[in-house]
Each structure stands twice: as C-alpha cells, then as structure tokens.
Amino acid sequence: MRAARKSVPFDENRVGQRRIQLQRPLDFAAVTDHAEWIGEINVCSSPALDGYDSESCQAFRGEIDMPDSLVSRIGGKTRFLSIVGFGGRKADVCGPGDSWCRAALKSAWAQTGAAAEHYYDRSEDCAFTTFHGYEYSNSYGRSKIHRNVIFRNERVPELPVSSLEQPDPVGLWDTLDALCRDVDGDCEAISIPHNPNVSNGRSFGIFWRDEPLDEQRRQASLRARYEPVVEMMQVKGESECKPGLWQVFGEDELCDFEKIRGLDELAPEDCKDGYGAGAIMGLGCQSRLDFARYAIIEGMAEEARIGVNPYRFGFAGSTDTHNASPGDVDEDSFDGCCAVRDATVEARLGGKDDAVKKGFAGRSNAARNPGGLMGVWAEENSRDSLFDAMQRREVFATSGPRMVPRFFAGPSLPDSICADELASQGYRHGVPMGGVLDGRLETSPLFAAAVWADSAGGLLQRLQVIKVWHDGEGGFNQAVHDVAGNADNGASVNLNNCSVSGPGETQLCATWRDPAFDPDQPAAYYLRALENPSCRWSWRQCLSLPEGERPDACSDPQIPREIQERVWSSPVWYSP
C-alpha cells in the first residue's frame, strides 16, 4: 500500500525499473486490481503453482510467441491477453473446474487485504486510510463497463465477484448483498462506475425497461444504493459532457475538455437512443449516456417514469494508471500510465514518426492525461467516516490539482453566507453537495458556491453553476452560469517555456439564485471551477526534447498544448 506514496513498476522478469515519489501524500487510497485475472496472473507469476508452465503462461511471460490464431482474434500481440479466456477461463492456466485460478485468486486477494490492513493508520493521527477493493471489469462488446468495488472495512467476501461470474451489474450487486450476509460484522460495499466515456452508451443505460414495474423499481433502487459515486475524470479521459450529442440542448464551450474519443477524424457516430460496441478500441457509437452530466438527467427522467432515481450520484476523480501510483496526477511530472510500456517521454507521446500509432480508444498516447483526484467532506480520515460521506455523495472531483469546493443550497441560506461561517451556515440552513431539496418551493433556493485554489497550483479564473433538467419529452437541457471570477481576466501561459502570468484568485465565493427557476420542474445543480490556463503535461514533455526530435504528437492540433484544470462538486437536486 506504499503505492500511495511511491511505486516501482516491474519488467517482464518482475525487476523494478523506476521509482515514483508523489510530491504530496494522499489521505486515502485503494488498490483495485482486475478481479477477472488476479488469479491467472498469480498462477503465471508463481513457479510453485499449478498452471505456471502452461503455454498461455509462457506466452504471458514472453518466453514463447503468442499463437497466430490468438493474435488474429485479439487484434495484436498484447501478452496479457494470452491468459484471457473468451467466454470463460483458460483451462491450461486455471485447471479442472478453474480450481487453480480460484486458489491463486484467494491467495492474492488475501495478500491485497493484508497490505490494506498493514498500512491503515488506526491511531488518533488518522494519517492514511486504506480501503479493500477491486475492479469489476465487464467489457461486453469491448465497451468499458468497469466498476471499482470499494468495501467499508476489512470484512469482505472470501473472493471478489468478477464479471466472469456475474456479467450483469445487477448480478454483481445481488451477489455482493448475498455474500455480505455470510460475513460476520458490518460488510458493505459500493461500486463506482469507471471510465463511462468509452462505454458506447452502456454505463448508464436503462436495461430494466422490459421487466415488471416492481422489478424495475427494485433494480433502480439497487443501483442507487450501490452507486452513489461516479468517476468524472481519469487517465483515459473526462466524462462530464460532450458537445453536439443527440437531444441535448444548451451550450457549454468547456465540454471538449480532455476527450479520449470524438474530437478528430475518428469521431464516432451518435448512438442516439441505442447502444454500440468497441469503444475500448475507438470503435462504435458514442452516447449522451457515456457522460455523467446527462446520466444525471436520465435519472430524473426515470424517477418521473417509475418513481425511483437510479442516477442520483456524486462525482469522483481517479488515476487508473497501471503503475500502482494512485494520486500521481501532476502535469509537470507525469510518469505515464503503463509501467515500462510508456516509461520514456517518446513512448508517452506516441513515438517519433509514428502518426498512425494509436493508443487507448484509437487516440495517440498523448491524448491521455495524468488523471484526477476525489475529495471527500468527512468528519475524519477513517474508513467509516469516508465511506459514509461517499454514500451520502458529499464528494467532489478534480482534474488533478487539490482545489477544494463547497456547495450548499436551501431556501433559508443567508445572503451573507460567503462572509459569515460558510460551512456551519450551509449545514444549518441548507443541504450540501450530494443533498436533495425535497418539496415544492415557490422561488429559487439560494445557492452558495465557493472554491479554494490549490496552494501548490494555479490561481482560480472563474466559478460556474451548471443546471440540468429534463423536459419530459426526451430533451436533455443544460445551462451554464458564471457566478464569480472572469473568463477574460487576462491570465495567460507562455507556450515557449510554460511560465504563467496575469491575475487570478486564491478563493472565490458567490451566492446565486436561478433566474429561470420553475417550482414544478425537477432539476440538478453542481459547481464547476476553473484555474487559469497552464501547460498540459504533453507539451511540457515536448519542450524537454530538441525541436527536431519531437514526436508527431507535439505538432498534432488535436493534442492541446495548454489546459484549464478544474474541480466539480457533486450535484444538489431539487425534487418538487
């Protein structure tokens, strides 16, 4: 669990290649390995285990070439895929009835849990909190429908539930419910949808529509209970919103931020009200239901239809780098995502003179970003307190910097709240981010929005309130309101050396009422704040190379040279 402070990626011989040190430590973290293949990797990495000498394991370790038939089937020579079965586990690796992999999974799961226990600070200092967790990696049709499963404490099932056992997320949640009943003590879990922007519309689809009404409500309620948090930002792109999607009305010029799909010649078709496949490879359509903002609206529409909102969730950021280095998100020191595969600047930028080489989702490796962070408003840095805060959605996401937002709403909030005990007044007279204003109001509630800049980051440019609502006829509506700061504040970045100049703020706070408030219209509101422009990681690393030796990504107009870092609060819902 020292991964939250330093990390050593390994080569094919399990020899450490690099040392990574975070500039600042994290408060909490979880290691979330892919549950589907923890056992297989343990088998292929442990000479004493049955299955180690299998042909598939030898190909995984690079000792023999992958069979041509497998290369053709998976479309490449990624050695990891040599141990991945299609429709089940590979018999030569996992043995009779998958018993070898099951035993290896049990052992590795116990080791991961032991590490989480070892590094959890249970003292009064609460210096570092670890969670038991894993990744549920459902990739139906090569759409990414993954989830990070996080447990409240050390009381966990004997084995993680993977998509090979439960390919349907409802089955995942039902199984977790059943397994936790068999565990002594307070066993509880949440699952965090992960990288929804490459799901071909499947992350937030309504797949229970053909069930009887009671079953629809049961499944919607189950999802609402298990998924109070959704990932907004990570190394494979941002999942807030996207311009020009089907039946989405209202403009937002900032929806093109850190997109891994759809801003170049590989732009996908719109799924409209359907689904696609292949997004992991940059294929298939893209849907409004690949994005958290529009899933929030879909949830309100579903509540109007069946009386249950399955998508009332808060926002989180994470890294998803495979370097075992959670929190390594600084633009000025990005070490890549994938151990030795992008250990050099040239590899991270896509390779010199290789314009057609594409990484995840069909984009150059330079289209990736360092990922984001999740912030939690909790009473203390302990498992129970943090888990409770995630369940009540009092969380926020950043694109990397440690900006800190507050967002309150209520009809009785005082107009002077920005100058007078913001937090205590907000809790006393309103609801915080993640909360719900139940009951009809005659006039708009007061919204109090505040953000503090990262003390080691850039200055703040502006603060916005995003409003979303459903028109009852299939239209998804969005409105963006600048409530503090100034988009034209004169701040800039010198792209020759990445120095920044111009004014900005270390703190912004504003109160706001919705000028288009409709007492009978359900709506959701959240805060978004932006820093002044700064250099993106990719351009910083381009500048580190002689001009004549820079890879094609350094001159690719689709790879931005600057970035406006940002923070998103969880929404507040108005539910008349």
Please report, to the nearest 10 degrees, the dihedral formed by the alpha carbons of residues 105, 110, 113, 115 taken in order: -110
- Residue 266 lies inside a defined structural domain of this protein: no
- Residues with pLDDT less than 70, the chain: 1-17, 67-78, 263-266, 351-359
Count of all residues that appear for the chain in the document:
576
- Residue 56 lies inside a defined structural domain of this protein: yes
- Residue 558 lies inside a defined structural domain of this protein: yes
Q: What's the rounded Cα separation, in Å, for the pair 239 and 230?
A: 9
Q: State the pLDDT at residue 3.
A: 39
Query: Which residues share a beta bridge with 462?
Result: 485, 530
DSSP H or E segment with residue 146 = strand 145-151
- Residue 325 lies inside a defined structural domain of this protein: no
- Residue 64 lies inside a defined structural domain of this protein: yes
Q: State the pLDDT at residue 5.
A: 38
Q: What's the rounded Cα separation, in Å, for the pair 479 and 523?
A: 11
Last residue of a domain, one of 127, 160, 175: 127
DSSP H or E segment with residue 478 = strand 476-485
What is the domain range of residue 117?
23-127
Cα 314 off chain centre by: 11
339, 146, 358, 167: which is closest to 239 by C-alpha? 146
Summarised one tens digit per residue, pLDDT across range 89-132 is 999 999 999 999 999 999 999 999 999 999 999 999 999 999 99
Q: What's the rounded Cα separation, in Å, for the pair 300 and 573?
A: 9
318, 107, 295: which is closest to 206 by C-alpha? 295
Query: Which residues share a beta bridge with 510?
Result: 449
Last residue of a domain, one of 95, 127, 159: 127
- Residue 206 lies inside a defined structural domain of this protein: no
Q: State the pLDDT at residue 75.
A: 46
Cα 361 off chain centre by: 16
- Residue 106 lies inside a defined structural domain of this protein: yes
What is the pTM assigned to this prediction?
A: 0.94
Amino acid at 534: S
Q: State the pLDDT at residue 80.
A: 81
Q: State the pLDDT at residue 281.
A: 86
Q: Which residues contact 525 (CB under 8 A, 6 or more apart)?
A: 409, 447, 465, 466, 467, 468, 514, 571, 572, 574
Last residue of a domain, one of 110, 127, 144: 127
Total domains present in the chain: 2
Q: State the pLDDT at residue 233.
A: 96
**Residue 38 burial (C-beta neighbours within 10 Å; 0-12, 13-18, 19+):** buried
